[in-house]
Chains A and B, each alone.
Chain A
């Protein structure tokens, strides 16, 4: 399979993620969109790693680190979303608008 196909998939997923972050109102869906962006990066890294036949496996190691950090970020993010839900009974990011300008 050509590298270009995999990179296109990565770029497409990244774009879907960006769209989701901008357009979604539900905080959990925004979180999922960010995950999509991070996973598109992982796909790119693994594809490059395979393409290079990198004996040091730098791309794979990088992807592992991203997976770990993404898990930590989601942990923190869901906790924050939960906190907001407890205090406001909503997780709509458009309604979280106490602070402006």
Chain B
């Protein structure tokens, strides 16, 4: 299928892009309304943003069960896979808004309208990402997620570390885009198309529009460059350098956004490109992912051991977790469709569960950060005696991130582990177990500090209602998966990205 040469507005399936249209309307609304709001009423922007997210969620629900929609000449596809990710992104955005309201009111005050605008813009990019089945659309979606991220990372304008976070994120982000684009240009040069399905057809049949020498090595280079580009986005080692610095320097809700929303969006795009466009070349990219996964897990977890700052600890933990998500992608080379299907579902399930436990941990960090803005791990000593509820929630999220039986995180790791064993990649499964043990140590040491040490400071930490709501919601979600492990696993097979 070639890109359409003629285009008219009536050919656009408006219903399929309704969630994106509503978010666009909401973000323009925030931008305009913010102009007329007095400084003390700026948090009203949060209400408009929530309304937009809610409206988009309703629009998305109205699309459930209506089958696969293709529009914009096949560039934009709404199927089960896209639907799953869009619901995740809307949920994450809603929780992020809950988490940010008080923080913004206290820390940034008069420029918070822009924060909601940028958050919604990034959300728009995230919503387009899993639907984008064309290199151009993927690139635009990725940039729409990343560029607002550069700005909100530097949102504390007068804070040197926030500036630094923005500079590092910007330089690495733009560099990775350029590398990825070079790969995309090469693949266009081989296949004469930017549509993922058309690329897949040309690559699997090897019917190149103009025969060229060494087509395979060009495809190889292109896959490599694109994986490197996405490797930066999902902060896989050795492309992770920006992540800990950026998370530590930026406002904490932004760190939560980067480590969950932007990372999940990166994985969504990565899975589309690898499974759809390069599906026939899995023997090229899967071993690459195996090396990346092993490195990412090991480096992330080992460096996390020596952290003093809780945000940095979560940053390295999030790098380690990205390594686990890469495992299923690493084991699919030349395997039966059943194994591929299981691996694909395992990666999706892991992303879903990881998003909520990581967000939960960050919500607690925001709460504690109200009294202890330095976010040191030593600030957590004796937290259980000061704020039992908060300490319990943190312990729960940490245990889940560590993968303790029987928490949600354990099931996520179990599905990934099973896919690695099922595919016969035993060495990767062994690396994973070793890393889970390392992870257990540093997650539990934070837990032990909260429960076993005497608090240095007395007195409760006043936690605002919006934050309490966000934390409780995430405890409920993670607990639900703990009790009913197939909760998310039940959704992931419905994703219809690839017919294995």
Q: Which residues of A contact B (CB under 8 A)?
A: 7, 10, 14, 17, 21, 27, 30, 34, 37-38, 40-41, 44-45, 47-48, 51-52, 54-56, 58-59, 61-62, 65-66, 69, 72-73, 76-77, 79-81, 83-84, 87-88, 93, 96-101
Within the complex, which residue of B167, B171, B185 is in contact with A41, where a contact is CB–CB below 8 Å?
B185
Q: Give the 3 A-B CB pairs with smallest separation, nearest first.
A: A37-B178, A99-B245, A48-B189
* B3 near A58: Cβ-Cβ < 8 Å: yes
Which of B166, B178, B210 has the most A CB atoms < 10 Å from its CB? Answer: B178
Q: A41-B181, A41-B182 are in contact. Are A65 and B164 (CB under 8 A)?
A: no
B150 within 8 A of A: yes
- B491 near A: Cβ within 8 Å? no
Q: Compute how far the CA of A74 lies from the CA of B170 in the bound complex, rounded to whole angstroms.
A: 10
**B303 touching A101 by the CB < 8 A rule?**
yes
* A34 touching B178 in the complex, CB below 8 Å, given contacts A69-B140, A88-B160: yes
Q: What are the residues of chain A within 8 A of B143 when measuring CB–CB? A: 69, 72-73
Starting from the known contacts A51-B189, A58-B188, A66-B181, 13 additional A-B residue pairs (CB-CB under 8 Å) come to: A34-B171, A41-B181, A41-B184, A45-B185, A52-B209, A59-B188, A62-B188, A73-B174, A76-B151, A80-B166, A80-B167, A84-B167, A100-B245
Q: Which of B165, B170, B182 contacts A99 (CB 8 A)?
A: B165
With A37-B182, A48-B188, A99-B248 as contacts: A21 and B167 at CB distance below 8 Å: no
B258: shortest Cβ distance to chain A, in Å? 14
Rounded to whole angstroms, the CA-CA distance of A8 and B189 in the bound complex is 14
Chain A residues, CB < 8 A from B3: 56, 58
Q: With A38-B181, A99-B248 as given contacts, are A80 and B161 in contact (CB-CB < 8 Å)?
A: no
Contact present for B171 and A21 (CB under 8 Å): yes
Interface string of B358-393 (1 = CB under 8 A from A): 000000000000000000000000000000000000
What is the CA–CA distance of A50 and B248 in the complex, to the nearest angstrom? Answer: 47
Say yes or no: A98-B249 contact (C-beta < 8 A), given A30-B171, A58-B3: yes
Q: How many angstroms from the CA of A5 to the CA of B164 in the assembled complex?
A: 40
Checking A62, A73, A96 against B147 with a beta-carbon cut-off of 8 angstroms, the contacting residue is A73
A75 and B99 alpha carbons, distance in the complex (Å)? 29
With an 8 A cutoff between CB atoms, is B458 at the interface?
Answer: no
Chain B nearest CB from A24 CB (Å) reads 11
Do A80 and B163 form a contact, CB below 8 Å, given A44-B182, A62-B194, A101-B303? yes
Known: A62-B194, A98-B249. A80 touches B178 (CB 8 A): no
Tell me if B27 is interfacial: C-beta within 8 Å of chain A: no
Expressed in whole angstroms, the Cα–Cα distance for A7 and B136 within the complex equals 20
Whether B154 sits at the interface, judged by CB under 8 Å, is: yes
Q: Is the CB of A77 within 8 A of B174?
A: yes
Contact of B192 among A7, A38, A54, A84 (CB under 8 A): A54
Asked, given contacts A14-B182, A41-B178, whether A83 binds B147 with beta carbons under 8 Å apart, the answer is no
A84 engages B164 (CB within 8 Å): yes
A44 touches B135 (CB 8 A): no
Q: Mark B112-155, 1 if CB is under 8 A from A, else 0.
A: 00000000000000000000000110011001000100110010
Closest chain-A Cβ to B117's Cβ sits at a distance in Å of 14
Is chain B's binding surface mostly helix, strand, loop or mixed? helix
Cβ of A88: which chain B residues have Cβ within 8 Å of it? 160, 163
User: Which A residues are in CB contact (< 8 Å) with B157?
Assistant: 83
Contacts of B161 in A (CB 8 A): 98-99
A69 to chain B, nearest CB (A): 5
Instruction: Knowing A44-B182, A61-B136 are in contact, say whether A34-B174 is a contact too (CB < 8 A).
Output: yes
A65–B178 CB distance below 8 A: no
15 A-B pairs whose Cβ atoms sit less than 8 Å apart in the complex: A14-B178, A14-B182, A34-B174, A38-B181, A44-B185, A62-B139, A73-B177, A84-B163, A84-B164, A84-B167, A93-B171, A96-B163, A99-B244, A99-B245, A100-B245
Q: How far is the CB of B134 from chain A (nearest CB, A)?
A: 9
Which residues of the other chain, B, contact A72 by a CB distance below 8 angstroms?
143, 147
Q: Are B170 and A65 in contact (CB under 8 A)?
A: no
Distance to closest chain A CB from B35 (angstroms): 20
Across the interface, do A27 and B167 meet the contact criterion of CB distance under 8 Å? yes
Pair B170/A76 contact, Cβ less than 8 Å: yes
Q: A97 to B160: give the CA distance in the assembly, Å.
A: 10
Q: Which residues of B contact A80 (CB under 8 A)?
A: 150-151, 154, 163, 166-167, 170
Closest approach, in angstroms, between the C-beta of A6 and any C-beta of chain B? 11
CA distance in complex: A73, B171 (Å): 10
Q: Which residue of A lies closest to B209 (CB)?
A: A52
Contact A83–B249 (Cβ < 8 Å): no
Tell yes or no: B158 within 8 A of A by CB: yes
How many Å lie between the Cα of A31 and that of B66 in the bound state?
Answer: 46
Residue of A nearest to B180 (CB): A41
Which residues from chain B contact A14 at a C-beta distance below 8 Å? 178, 182
Q: Note all chain A residues with C-beta closer than 8 A to B193.
A: 58
Contact A98 B185, CB 8 Å, known A30-B171, A55-B5, A61-B136: no
Bound form: Cα–Cα A30–B244 in Å: 21
Beyond A56-B2, A76-B147, whether A34 also contacts B175 by CB under 8 A is yes
Tell me, rounded to whole Å, the shortest Cβ–Cβ distance linking B211 to chain A: 12
* Interface contact A51-B194, CB-CB below 8 Å: no
Residue from the list A48, A51, A54, A81 in contact with B185, Cβ < 8 A: A48
Partner of B210, one of A51, A59, A62, A77: A51
B319 CB to nearest A CB, Å:
13
